[in-house]
Structure 1
Amino acid sequence: MKKHIFRIFVCLVFVCGVLIVSVKLDIFNRSIINLHNLTFLTTEPVFGRRYLPELDLLHSSINFHPKCANANTSRIYLKHYQPSYSLGEQIKVQIDLFDRDGNRKSTGGDHLRVWMEDPKTSASVSGEVFDHNDGSYTGVFKATWAGKAVIRVFIATRREELALYYRMFKQYSSIWTAYADFNKKPLSETSRCSANQPSISKTNEWCNLTTENDGFPWFCKKTNLTCDTWTNSYTGPTNFTLDTTEKDILTWSVKGASSDILRLFLNISIRNVGNSSLLTPPDISCNNLPAKVTWQQKSPNGYFYTNKWHSLMCHDTLPRTIDAYRQCLKGRTLWLHGDSTSAQFKTALHSFLRFPSHADAHVPVIDKDPLHNFSVSWHAHELPFYHGARHYPRYSNQAQHIMMDRLPNTTKDIVVLYLYVHFTLGHPDEFRRHVRRLVPSAKNLLARAPNVTLAVRGPHAYFRGTQSLISYWGLIYSDIWHEEFASLHDKIVYLDFWDLTMARPSADVHADMSIVHQMVHKMMSLLCFRK
């Protein structure tokens, strides 16, 4: 009896083993097929995070420069050395950060950006960085062209900077300060404003202008004039109580990028696969790409070659011609509301389509091309919006959900929702609040206006520029868009420009116009003639 049971057990073990081997062989065979087709190669799992949580950063000490990550002493090397890579193959590098004195960093939280480039062919592609929270990072690339390439690393934002920003958000609400004008002839007074609600004991000292700000919290210090005399907004100097070290840290965000690009870099070689020298996308046109796929964060989603952006998500079938763009926009308005970086899209379209612009900085405008029957609209989003020294009237700002709610049921317009740069001066929770409010209006518009085309434009990356406007927050904002719009992924197109602008860095928040034209065409290829 025991021998019989033992035989049955042996047979079961053998059958299970055969099944496991069969499954593994099937997975292996499918992997070979994917490799042959060169489409969306599966990325090996990498353990690490794209960024550290706020609480981890708040535990940081604010150190002097010598103890911070240093580009001259930090190192990069291949995780698995090999003389060359095949087209489509994954490339992994390790980055170890050291301070100025050559001491190894033992904590994470520094924001690194990595890219691979070949200046001779004007080729470049971004890599993903994963933080192991011990001073080491993994960079992951995909070989997207055959030939030579150089891998570079940039220390974009240090842990100490992020810790300071979070503390300042808590204490001061924002890094810059907004002001309001209150006017009632012959009197005129000014006061500072904030999106943070004052404490209950001090409520009577503040004007609650939430209703006037389309339902988003906005409070301005009371003056001798009544709150209903608010007329204009502008941005002025901010006086923070900071020590010498903290003041120094705030200057890092405006320093040139060159000194923070690692002195060490990697040269690699990439082989053709068959007759293919460039990685190609799946066989689907961009205007037929399901909206849900555009929200799937696969990196890289494209690369530059000969100064042209090549999508890895879909085939770009939209001709880069004036006639193709005009046919797409005919009988429609393209709504590009947001900030000056969305106004850049409008500027690029005016340049390409050769119709006059009446833009005046942050003044709302709808420009029409009556001959070809289309319009392009720009409007500054709701406060917080830091206008600069110029004083803008209240009507200059409008929430994007208001714009959507006013569109008729018969609209065929293209609406691109966009919030980004101005929110980087405050806590990410403020950004989430504004994104969340867009969702019900978007759902309502899609339900009642079946011919509307709706998109969300994600954040873009850049080196540095204006003080404290750092693109690190774009990593967090991208996740917020994905989380808050989760129920609409199958109905709204996500315009992901992160990889594009990581691959071809811009000096500051305003991308070079040659890059903006590439971004605009990617937008048009996804949104024009969608079915």
Structure 2
Amino acid sequence: MEEELFQSAVNMKVFIKASGPAHIIVLPKPKVLNVMIPIYRSVQKRSAVKTRPSGYYYQSAWRALDGTTVHQFNSTAISQCLKGITIHIYGDSTVRQWYEYLTNSLPDLKEFDLQSSRKTGPLMALDYLNKILVTFHSHGPPIRFGSMPVSQLHHIANELDRVAGGTSTVVVIGIWSHFSTFPIEVYIRRLLNIRKAVVRLLTRAPGTLVVIRTANPKEMTLYESLTNSDWFSLQRDKVLRAIFKGANVRLVDAWEMTLAHHLPHKLHPEPDIIKNMIDVVLSYICPLSRILKDPTES
């Protein structure tokens, strides 16, 4: 009987229909009288909560509001952007999706069989001609991948201390889902250790690009609603942002990118959303000056 109270698309994860026209009209920014500006700023200072969306979708492409110009990359442009680049991906299955997207998108990026589990890794792929190396390593316990050799239970902080770093190195970190059913203190301690390792990495190799993936909303079942709902994910998302605030890292706001998309929420977002996340990462790696202007690019 309890399950009748928790039904996806019935009384959970239900879209709110527009009360009026289901479209928006973008108007020019209005001119504000100079006398109003100090009043507006004083109200802003008194405000206890300041929220601002990190971006929006326009014609299925993510437009960031943090000043980053997000470009659209096809397979040729991805290869050009990543030429000579090593990408180390650490975390859970939500960033393993990024590894899988790259290996599926680049025909010359060949995987090595390391005799490891597809879920836990380690995984490695190499494009020898373009000198592109992509690796994936699962984070240390707690994990819910199933069985995993003890020899592969490596913590991200320890792995980062082994990375030489430099301008040709990109580090991606995504760690949140497996901690949702544990006390928040466990997650805080883990992130603090990772942050210290990131600082050490950037101190010895300032040119290294470090990208952090946030949490995202997921589909809800009765079990998930009672034990591991989006409320727990949101708490960890806030903690992650607070701990890495001020660090020289770039953020991929998976929470907003999933929330703003018309596709249903999933722990592992659909390919269209993953594609936009990868476009954000590639735009961090390759500013406009490094992007290949391919005539076939849409």
- Cross-structure match for 1:82: none
- Cross-structure match for 1:520: 278
- Cross-structure match for 1:404: 160
1:257 aligns with 2:9: yes
- Cross-structure match for 1:511: 269
One-letter amino acid of the counterpart of residue 80, structure 2 = Q
Q: Taking structure 1 as reference, are residues 506 and 346 closer, same or farther at Cα in structure 2, changes over 3 Å only?
A: farther
CA deviation map 1:474-519 (0-9, x unaligned): 322232123222341xx21122222111012534311112211111
Deviation, structure 1 residue 422 = 0.6
| Contact 2:180 2:236 (8 Å CA) reproduced | no
One-letter amino acid of the counterpart of residue 332, structure 1 = I
What is the distance in 1 between the residues matched to 2:276 and 2:97? 12
Structure 1 length-normalised TM:
0.44
Q: Taking structure 1 as reference, are residues 347 and 382 closer, same or farther at Cα in structure 2, changes over 3 Å only?
A: same
What is the distance in 2 between the residues matched to 1:447 and 1:392? 33
1:322 aligns with 2:75: yes
Q: Taking structure 1 as reference, are residues 392 and 316 closer, same or farther at Cα in structure 2, changes over 3 Å only?
A: same
- Cross-structure match for 1:492: 249
- Cross-structure match for 2:42: none
Equivalent of 1:375, from 122, 133, 153?
133
Q: Taking structure 1 as reference, are residues 452 and 252 closer, same or farther at Cα in structure 2, changes over 3 Å only?
A: farther
One-letter amino acid of the counterpart of residue 259, structure 1 = N
Deviation, structure 1 residue 438 = 0.9
- Cross-structure match for 1:447: 203
- Cross-structure match for 2:185: 429
Write the mapping of 1:205-224 to structure 2, written as runs, cut at 5 A: none
Q: SS of the counterpart of 2:110?
A: coil
What is the distance in 2 between the residues matched to 1:530 and 1:413? 19
Deviation, structure 1 residue 264 = 6.5
One-letter amino acid of the counterpart of residue 10, structure 2 = S
- Cross-structure match for 2:119: 361
Deviation, structure 1 residue 263 = 7.4
Write the mapping of 1:118-129 to structure 2, written as runs, cut at 5 A: none
- Cross-structure match for 2:235: 476
Give the stretch that moved more between structures: 303-312 or 260-269.
260-269
Q: Taking structure 1 as reference, are residues 317 and 433 closer, same or farther at Cα in structure 2, changes over 3 Å only?
A: closer
Deviation, structure 1 residue 361 = 2.2
| Contact 1:257 1:463 (8 Å CA) reproduced | no
What is the distance in 2 between the residues matched to 1:450 and 1:258? 50
One-letter amino acid of the counterpart of residue 427, structure 1 = P
Q: Taking structure 1 as reference, are residues 272 and 265 closer, same or farther at Cα in structure 2, changes over 3 Å only?
A: closer
What is the distance in 2 between the residues matched to 1:426 and 1:417? 19
Q: Taking structure 1 as reference, are residues 529 and 507 closer, same or farther at Cα in structure 2, changes over 3 Å only?
A: closer
Q: Taking structure 1 as reference, are residues 272 and 406 closer, same or farther at Cα in structure 2, changes over 3 Å only?
A: closer
| Contact 1:318 1:324 (8 Å CA) reproduced | no
Structure 2 length-normalised TM:
0.76
CA deviation map 1:229-254 (0-9, x unaligned): xxxxxxxxxxxxxxxxxxx48x977x
- Cross-structure match for 1:270: 24
Q: CA RMSD in A?
A: 2.9
Q: SS of the counterpart of 1:375?
A: strand
Q: Taking structure 1 as reference, are residues 301 and 319 closer, same or farther at Cα in structure 2, changes over 3 Å only?
A: same
One-letter amino acid of the counterpart of residue 527, structure 1 = I
What is the distance in 2 between the residues matched to 1:485 and 1:528? 23
Deviating beyond 4 angstroms after TM superposition, the runs of 4 or more aligned structure 1 residues are 262-265
| Contact 2:72 2:279 (8 Å CA) reproduced | no
Q: What is the identity percentage for the equivalent residue pairs of Structure 1 and Structure 2?
A: 22
| Contact 2:79 2:130 (8 Å CA) reproduced | yes
One-letter amino acid of the counterpart of residue 255, structure 2 = W
Q: Taking structure 1 as reference, are residues 486 and 314 closer, same or farther at Cα in structure 2, changes over 3 Å only?
A: closer
Give the stretch that moved more between structures: 365-374 or 316-325.
316-325
| Contact 1:456 1:494 (8 Å CA) reproduced | yes
- Cross-structure match for 1:185: none
Structure with max Cα Rg: 1
Name structure 2 gaps, 5 residues minimum.
29-49, 290-298
CA deviation map 1:357-409 (0-9, x unaligned): 45722121111111211111111100000123xx2211232111111100126
CA deviation map 1:190-219 (0-9, x unaligned): xxxxxxxxxxxxxxxxxxxxxxxxxxxxxx
Equivalent of 1:347, from 67, 75, 100?
100
Equivalent of 1:310, from 51, 60, 63?
63
One-letter amino acid of the counterpart of residue 88, structure 2 = W
CA deviation map 1:147-205 (0-9, x unaligned): xxxxxxxxxxxxxxxxxxxxxxxxxxxxxxxxxxxxxxxxxxxxxxxxxxxxxxxxxxx
Deviation, structure 1 residue 321 = 2.6
Q: Taking structure 1 as reference, are residues 406 and 503 closer, same or farther at Cα in structure 2, changes over 3 Å only?
A: same
Q: Taking structure 1 as reference, are residues 483 and 307 closer, same or farther at Cα in structure 2, changes over 3 Å only?
A: closer
Q: Taking structure 1 as reference, are residues 313 and 399 closer, same or farther at Cα in structure 2, changes over 3 Å only?
A: same
What is the distance in 2 between the residues matched to 1:487 and 1:394? 34
Q: Taking structure 1 as reference, are residues 336 and 312 closer, same or farther at Cα in structure 2, changes over 3 Å only?
A: same
Give aligned pairs, total: 258
Q: Taking structure 1 as reference, are residues 496 and 298 closer, same or farther at Cα in structure 2, changes over 3 Å only?
A: farther
CA deviation map 1:279-313 (0-9, x unaligned): xxxxxxxxxxxxxxxxxx85322222332222233
What is the distance in 2 between the residues matched to 1:265 and 1:256? 20
Q: Taking structure 1 as reference, are residues 414 and 264 closer, same or farther at Cα in structure 2, changes over 3 Å only?
A: closer
Name structure 1 gaps, 5 residues minimum.
1-64, 66-247, 275-296
